[in-house]
Chain A
Amino acid sequence: MKIIEQVGRYFILMGRVFSKPEKGKIYYKQVLKEIESLGINSIGIVIIISIFMGAVITLQTRYNLENPLIPLYLIGLTARDSMLLEFSSTIVGLILAGKVGSNIASEIGHMRITEQIDALEIMGVNSASYLVLPKVIAAVIFNPLLTLISMFVGIFGGWAASVITGALSSVDYIYGIQYWFIPYYITYSLVKTVVFAIIITSVPAFFGYYVKGGALEVGRSSTKGVVTSSILILLFNVILTQLLLA
Chain B
Amino acid sequence: MILVENINKSFNKESVLSDISVQFDEGKTNLIIGRSGSGKTVLIKCIVGLHEVDSGKILFHDREFVSMNLRQKQELRKEMGMLFQGGALFDSLTVEENIKFPLDMFTKMSDKEKKERVNFCLHRVNLDNVNHLFPAELSGGMQKRVAIARAIVQNPKYLFCDEPNSGLDPKTAIVIDNLISDITHEYNITTIINTHDMNSVMEIGEKVIFIHDGIKGWEGTKDEVLNSDDEYLNDFVFASNLAKKIKDNL
In the complex, how many angstroms separate the beta carbon of B136 from the nearest chain A beta carbon? 12
Task: Tell yes or no: A2 within 8 A of B by CB.
Answer: no
Q: Which of B70, B74, B86, B106 contacts A115 (CB under 8 A)?
A: B86
Interface residues of B in 30-76 (CB under 8 A from A): 45, 48-50, 70, 74-76
Interface residues of B in 92-124 (CB under 8 A from A): 101-102, 104-106
How many interface residues does chain A have, given as a range?
10 to 19
Instruction: Select the stretch in B17-25, B77-85, B125-133 that faces chain A.
Output: B77-85
How many interface residues does chain B have, given as a range?
20 to 34
Q: Which of B50, B77, B84, B90 contacts A124 (CB under 8 A)?
A: B77
B84 pairs with A115, CB closer than 8 A? yes
B84 pairs with A119, CB closer than 8 A? yes
A124 pairs with B75, CB closer than 8 A? yes
Compute how far the CA of A122 lies from the CA of B49 in the bound complex, rounded to whole angstroms.
8
Most buried by B among A123, A125, A126: A123
B77 pairs with A116, CB closer than 8 A? no
Chain A residues in 8 Å Cβ range of B48: 122
Q: Which of B49, B78, B89, B91 contacts A123 (CB under 8 A)?
A: B78
A122 pairs with B106, CB closer than 8 A? no
Chain B residues in 8 Å Cβ range of A65: none
A125 pairs with B105, CB closer than 8 A? yes
Task: Tell yes or no: A118 within 8 A of B by CB.
Answer: yes
A22 pairs with B105, CB closer than 8 A? yes
Q: Which of B49, B78, B88, B160 contacts A116 (CB under 8 A)?
A: B88
B86 pairs with A114, CB closer than 8 A? yes
B106 pairs with A124, CB closer than 8 A? yes
A121 pairs with B50, CB closer than 8 A? yes
Given the known interface contacts A26-B104, A26-B105, the answer about A121 and B86 at a Cβ–Cβ threshold of 8 Å is no
In the complex, how many angstroms separate the beta carbon of B48 from the nearest chain A beta carbon? 6
Contact with B along A126-145 (1 / 0, CB 8 A): 10000000000000000000
In the complex, how many angstroms separate the beta carbon of B177 from the nearest chain A beta carbon? 21
Q: Which of B75, B81, B91, B105 contacts A122 (CB under 8 A)?
A: B81
Chain B residues in 8 Å Cβ range of A124: 74-78, 80, 102, 105-106
B74 pairs with A122, CB closer than 8 A? no
Q: Which of A16, A114, A118, A125 contacts B50 (CB under 8 A)?
A: A118
Q: Which of B88, B91, B106 contacts A22 (CB under 8 A)?
A: B106
Compute how far the CA of A16 lies from the CA of B49 in the bound complex, rounded to whole angstroms.
16
A23 pairs with B84, CB closer than 8 A? no
Given the known interface contacts A121-B77, A124-B75, A126-B74, the answer about A23 and B88 at a Cβ–Cβ threshold of 8 Å is no
A115 pairs with B105, CB closer than 8 A? no
B77 pairs with A122, CB closer than 8 A? yes
B88 pairs with A118, CB closer than 8 A? yes
Compute how far the CA of A119 lies from the CA of B50 in the bound complex, rounded to whole angstroms.
10
A123 — nearest CB in chain B belongs to which residue? B102
A121 — nearest CB in chain B belongs to which residue? B50
Given the known interface contacts A22-B106, A115-B84, A118-B50, the answer about A123 and B77 at a Cβ–Cβ threshold of 8 Å is yes
A123 pairs with B101, CB closer than 8 A? yes
In the complex, how many angstroms separate the beta carbon of B85 from the nearest chain A beta carbon? 7
Contact with B along A198-211 (1 / 0, CB 8 A): 00000000000000
Chain B residues in 8 Å Cβ range of A16: 70
Chain B residues in 8 Å Cβ range of A123: 77-78, 101-102, 105-106
Chain B residues in 8 Å Cβ range of A119: 82, 84, 88-90
B85 pairs with A23, CB closer than 8 A? no
Most buried by B among A23, A26, A111, A116: A116
Interface residues of A in 124-177 (CB under 8 A from B): 124-126
Binding site for A on B (CB under 8 A): 45, 48-50, 70, 74-78, 80-82, 84-86, 88-91, 101-102, 104-106, 160
Which A-B residue pairs are the 7 nearest by beta carbons? Answer: A124-B77, A115-B88, A119-B88, A124-B78, A122-B82, A124-B74, A115-B84
Contact sample, A vs B, 13 pairs, CB 8 Å cutoff: A22-B105, A23-B104, A23-B105, A114-B88, A114-B91, A122-B82, A123-B78, A124-B76, A124-B77, A124-B78, A124-B102, A125-B74, A125-B105
